[in-house]
Amino acid sequence: MALMTMMRQDSMLVPTVPVKNLNGSSPVNPALAGITGILMSAAGLPVCLTRPPKLVLHPPPVSKSEIKSIPGVSNTSRKTTKKQAKKGKTPEEVLKKYLQKVRHPPDEDCTICMERLTAPSGYKGPQPTVKPDLVGKLSRCGHIYHIYCLVAMYNNGNKDGSLQCPTCKTIYGVKTGTQPPGKMEYHLIPHSLPGHPDCKTIRIIYSIPPGIQGPEHPNPGKSFSARGFPRHCYLPDSEKGRKVLKLLLVAWDRRLIFAIGTSSTTGESDTVIWNEVHHKTEFGSNLTGHGYPDANYLDNVLAELAAQGISEDSTAQEKD
């Protein structure tokens, strides 16, 4: 009898527990909810058996008449084709623009081959035409390497006329990527993103079909897949959001948004993957970290674009 009295007294201290399960699909047995509440309350934990937040990937339906072009941005789509043919410059001629020869190199390591700069290059791959003991300093950042190593690094890359310092990532020339052919669409929709209630939304739609890898890709001649396309991405229609869009257009034209590689989520190889410029693919939630609100996102993506050599100065060099 005393035990029953104690249980009745304890039950009066248990907070009310909503009788819905975590999926919200059917009632939870009231007894189970009560026992759960007692155990959690005894442990000093808050008691709340409610539905989890809902993943919202897409906006409410939008009619064609509601879709508008973006002020200050011409057109509503952009296509890319296969890689353009390069001019007939040798790697040595390309790098000559970015280097100053060093007659008396410092007694430190070349961070490409890890041999001393005062000794010949330790690179053992296909032989560049320059002498292995020549040393050069990059003109803007001042980092010093064997010219032999820089030529080898250039030959192993995209060979697009640009060079990226392996130490500080400073880009010389215009960096381009290996994104396969596709289409980028962009327009305004009359809905607001979480955290941006005072403006409409810029919707970007990327479409890339599967195909055959070219000579610039990991496995030339082999087919590649393109999962999850078309991919919908979102930006606030604010001043900074439009700035990001204009820079993304430059990145698209330079084939830097996507690449062909191995998916970090599925492990699939020879597939189209994102290429170090993060996008928001959730419209009305941020359960996976790919949505809003995210107060730092626009600044973060501007920094990622800058790391690819794309800044406000780039927009003056590119078509709108």
Q: What is the pLDDT of residues 196-254, one digit of tens each?
A: 999 999 999 999 999 999 998 999 999 999 999 999 999 999 999 999 999 999 999 99
pLDDT at residue 192 tops 60: yes
Q: Rounded mean pLDDT of 85-92?
A: 69
pLDDT at position 218: 92
pLDDT at position 52: 73
Contact 154, 148 (CB under 8 A): no
Phi, psi angle pair for 201, to nearest 5°:
-125, 135
Residue of higher predicted confidence among 305 and 22: 305
pLDDT at residue 280 tops 70: yes
Percentage above 90 pLDDT, the chain: 68
User: Which residue matches tokens 């970015």?
Assistant: 98
Q: Find all residues with CB under 8 Å of 292, minimum gap 6, and list them.
A: 193, 194, 195, 196, 234, 236, 280, 282, 283, 284, 286
Percentage above 70 pLDDT, the chain: 80
Q: Rounded mean pLDDT of 298-306?
A: 97
Name the E strands within the chain: 77-80, 99-101, 135-138, 144-146, 163-164, 171-172, 182-189, 201-207, 211-212, 223-224, 231-236, 258-261, 271-274
Q: What is the mean pLDDT of the chain?
A: 85
pLDDT at position 129: 79
pLDDT band at 89; cut points 50, 70, 90: confident
DSSP 290-309: SSS--TTHHHHHHHHHHHTT
Query: What does the alpha-carbon distance between residue 154 and residue 164 come to, in Å, rounded to a whole number?
Result: 9
